[in-house]
Amino acid sequence: MSETTLAPVATWLAEPMEEKVAAAIERLRRTADVRRVAVMPDVHLATDVCVGTVVTTRRLLFPGAVGGDIGCGMLALAFDAQASTLDARPAVIGRLLAVMNSAVPITRRHRRRVVPYPDELRGAELSHGALEAVKRDAAALQLGTLGGGNHFVELQADAASDQLWLMVHSGSRAIGQAVRGHHLAHAQRVDGGMLALDAETAAGQAYVHDVAWARAYADANRRAIADAVIDLLREHFHVRPVEHSLISCDHNHVAREAHGDGSDHGGERDELLWVHRKGAMPASAGVAGVLPGSMGTMSFHVEGRGCAAALRSSAHGAGRAMSRNVARRTVTARDVTRQMAGVWFDPRLTDALREESPRAYKDIRALLRAQHDLVRVTRTLRPVMVYKGAG
């Protein structure tokens, strides 16, 4: 396809858009087959397409508008205990942090500790032998691992009831990157400069198939991490998860959905479009989601309002206010310690965690105000203990 259109852009901004971000959005709206663009308040610069962007197309698939961490998302789970149970036993929290890396490694190096694939992953083949090799090797080794960067495990307190909650942020690890890289190598450059696959060809369908597998892997990864934390909490604090409390969502994917022109009209004008979300969470009416703040700040459980203009989407978290390089230059270890007051974390990682300091992220409350018509808050949570991989 070579048709180039000037797609409409809808924005929900907590602050003025940076010049480079605005330029990236302008390039995107001029790209072939792009029908609509929605920009979330946590938008920030990234390779190809900004994080915090939703893009619809009729036929073309843009791996760059999904990114490499396909299926990256959130899991939340309640426990039958008060968070004060943990705060009252600091020595036990210390032991919990000490063993967390063994139970939920940043990466895994020993095959004897591999988490078995669930049936739904084991029974489906990826589209190419090279991807199957990653599935057998790196992906099998990494299932149940956290990864670095902004991925984390956090124990939280419901601000209203003090109920203990778990929050997990992780994704598809090596397999997501492999899927993106493999299919970009087979993509064609279209008007606007993006690499694309035609959804109506075998190559396009292969990408859709592999994205679905990577999303399922990312979900299984978060559940495996949660299972490991459940075991630790049962052992150290004798608490158990609450049935039917699980919230699960992801924010890097492409999916076929029915959307209209962004107005609140009847369904007769809706059409099936390919919806690319990169750092944006689905927010259909009544759908539960998880909006993490930065390390050391409040997080929120939300419910979608189904806003048509936003392509039934929401921000996926606080979003970076400064790049990792800038954070490393400007945030000190003392800043991290001060900003994390009252939150348990491994002090040995203080220096390494400077780039994940709360100061490096946007204000989550300002973000919520900017997108008040996209979601409503159902629960506010404060951090009690944070385990995060540095680097």
Q: Report the C-alpha gap between 177 and 68 in whole angstroms.
A: 4
Q: Give just the sign of the alpha carbon dihedral 251, 252, 254, 255.
A: negative
Q: How many other C-beta atoms can be found within 10 angstroms of the C-beta atom of residue 197? A: 23
Q: Report the C-alpha gap between 38 and 13 in whole angstroms.
A: 11
> Among 151, 169, 301, 316, which one carries the catalytic annotation?
316
Cα distances from 84 to residues 131, 155, 163, 176, 384, in angstroms, run 46, 11, 9, 38, 9
Examine the residue annotation and report whether 110 is marked as an active-site residue of this protein: no
Contacts of residue 227, defined as CB under 8 A and 6 or more positions apart, other chains included, come to 144
Q: Which residues of 135-162 are buried (b: 16+ CB within 10 A; e: fewer)?
A: beebbbbbbbbbbebbbbbbbbbbeeee
Q: Give just the sign of the alpha carbon dihedral 153, 155, 160, 161.
A: positive
Q: How many other C-beta atoms can be found within 10 angstroms of the C-beta atom of residue 359? A: 17
| Three-state DSSP string of 76-121 | EEEEEEECHHHHCCHHHHHHHHHHHHHHCCCCCCCHHHCCCCCHHH
Q: Report the C-alpha gap between 96 and 73 in whole angstroms.
A: 24
Q: Is 311 left (phi over 0), alpha (psi -120 to 50) or beta?
A: left
Edge-to-edge strands of the sheet including 299-304? 247-250, 73-82, 163-170, 152-158, 375-388, 299-304, 288-291
State the catalytic residues.
Answer: 316
